[in-house]
Structure 1
């Protein structure tokens, strides 16, 4: 179905491989469109519980395709805005998936590639991975990826890296909050599989609601309204079939239905 992607689905885990290895999985119009469509399809597939994003070849993603960027530089503002909105829409679609997402990063994750890693819920990187928001060295800014990178590393770190475009090695990426786990490259798939299996133990609706909870409470001041909102969220979920199944399975010392279906 896709020319720039390969998708493998096994036991509830969908792995989306960006497949433009000759250009280090750099973005172009087609990859952006196909990745948007793939995310929408996987989000609608109840058999898919976890989505992993990786890259074929030597790199996760080197950011924007040079030919695409050259064409953008020769286009007017209106055309550039349309292209930027497609990229921003793809990143938002990935970030707002109602199921857990894992970035599997090896090699380069530069510019938009770092944006993809940040838009996923979790990031697991090989020890040779390298990240950068390199846009200022091209006279532009990491605008579309900005909300996701800021969410991952915070404004203070972004003030440095958005302006310096320094390369960030995997160990440093862990330190600043961009990467959750850094492992030897040959152990990358095993670590991703380990985390994916852990994610499969959670209730699918509960995980979707957990993502919404974080979005609702992050960086908000504690207030009566916020406390009431959190209470309403748990009260609503306690009455769902998924919650009743989860509690019943715990008391009966058996796996819940969502685990046995995988």
Structure 2
């Protein structure tokens, strides 16, 4: 993979870490940062050494959304240029949401606007107690358009409206109670909590099974009940023929623990 300026990619113990590294700008997003994130997630998707992905960030903020210079440039863009830029971010969110590997957000600071969007599309999220979350786009005349599609799936219409239309910032504890994030931990426990959870997924779960399950969750919500059940039955049959299923059943019958 080519050297990147604002994103770092490392793998240790079968866990890939994608690290936002623009702390002086509060890890704010621009075209290059989004491009590098897409490149890193593509690398993780095909990296046989990585079974689980952690999205993390350096500095005080997880991600403050779009940076000021980026917003200024958007004002000068044509409709076609803004559409291309919107699709760029859409592709990143969709890439994470449908990624073949489980993605864990490790949130060490505030996640605002597009940064909150990043947290939204991850599969699991750990945040420190002092982190704040919010979609503040409406306060600057912007529209939280792309994240809305994912947030409606995650929280439902009522909670999505509460967040998107108010533009309010909420605490990590409120975000957890709302279902926006999964766990709130003390600052000095963030690294160990994420590492322990990632290790559990790596050691105890079939990567193939997690991939199929994640992909089905993404797909069946847009199907009718009949279509969803037919798709589920088909995937169930395919899953039974997979190498991981054969291995897991054999281990279970022999009263052994499968080595994933």
TM alignment of 1:68-147, pairs within 5 A: 68-147=70-149
Is 1:207 the counterpart of 2:210 in the alignment?
yes
Q: Secondary structure at the match of 1:144?
A: helix
Task: Name the TM-score, length of structure 1 as normaliser.
Answer: 0.93
Match of 1:151 in 2: 153
Q: Secondary structure at the match of 1:74?
A: coil
Q: Secondary structure at the match of 2:18?
A: strand
Comparing 52-61 with 237-246, greater Cα deviation is found at 237-246
Report if aligned partners of 1:137, 1:165 keep a CA contact under 8 Å in 2.
yes
Q: Secondary structure at the match of 1:237?
A: helix
Q: Residues 4-58 of structure 1, C-alpha deviation per residue, up to 9 Å, x if partnerless? A: 0112210110111100000110001110100001111110112210000011000
Q: Residues 124-145 of structure 1, C-alpha deviation per residue, up to 9 Å, x if partnerless? A: 1111110010001110111122
Report if aligned partners of 1:4, 1:31 keep a CA contact under 8 Å in 2.
yes
Structure 2 gaps, min length 5: none
Match of 1:161 in 2: 163
Match of 1:59 in 2: 61
Q: Residues 144-172 of structure 1, C-alpha deviation per residue, up to 9 Å, x if partnerless? A: 22222222222111112211100010010
Q: Residues 182-234 of structure 1, C-alpha deviation per residue, up to 9 Å, x if partnerless? A: 111111111111211121121111111001221233375533x4333322221
Q: Residues 41-86 of structure 1, C-alpha deviation per residue, up to 9 Å, x if partnerless? A: 1101122100000110001100001100111112221211111111
Task: Name the TM-score, length of structure 2 as normaliser.
Answer: 0.94
CA RMSD, aligned part only? 1.5
Aligned counterpart for 2:48 among listed residues 23, 31, 46? 46
Q: C-alpha separation between the residues in 1 aligned to 2:6 and 2:59?
A: 13
Structure 1 gaps, min length 5: none
Report if aligned partners of 1:20, 1:26 keep a CA contact under 8 Å in 2.
yes
Report if aligned partners of 1:114, 1:149 keep a CA contact under 8 Å in 2.
no
Q: C-alpha separation between the residues in 1 aligned to 2:108 and 2:155?
A: 19
Measured after TM superposition, the shift of residue 254 of structure 1 is: 3.5
Q: Secondary structure at the match of 2:146?
A: coil
Match of 1:216 in 2: 219
Alpha-carbon spacing, 1:220–1:85, altered in 2? closer, same or farther (3 Å): closer
Q: C-alpha separation between the residues in 1 aligned to 2:222 and 2:170?
A: 25
Measured after TM superposition, the shift of residue 123 of structure 1 is: 1.0
Match of 2:11 in 1: 9
Q: Secondary structure at the match of 2:28?
A: coil
Q: How many residues align?
A: 257
Report if aligned partners of 2:98, 2:218 keep a CA contact under 8 Å in 1.
no
Q: C-alpha separation between the residues in 2 aligned to 1:229 and 1:97?
A: 19
Q: C-alpha separation between the residues in 2 aligned to 1:215 and 1:85?
A: 19
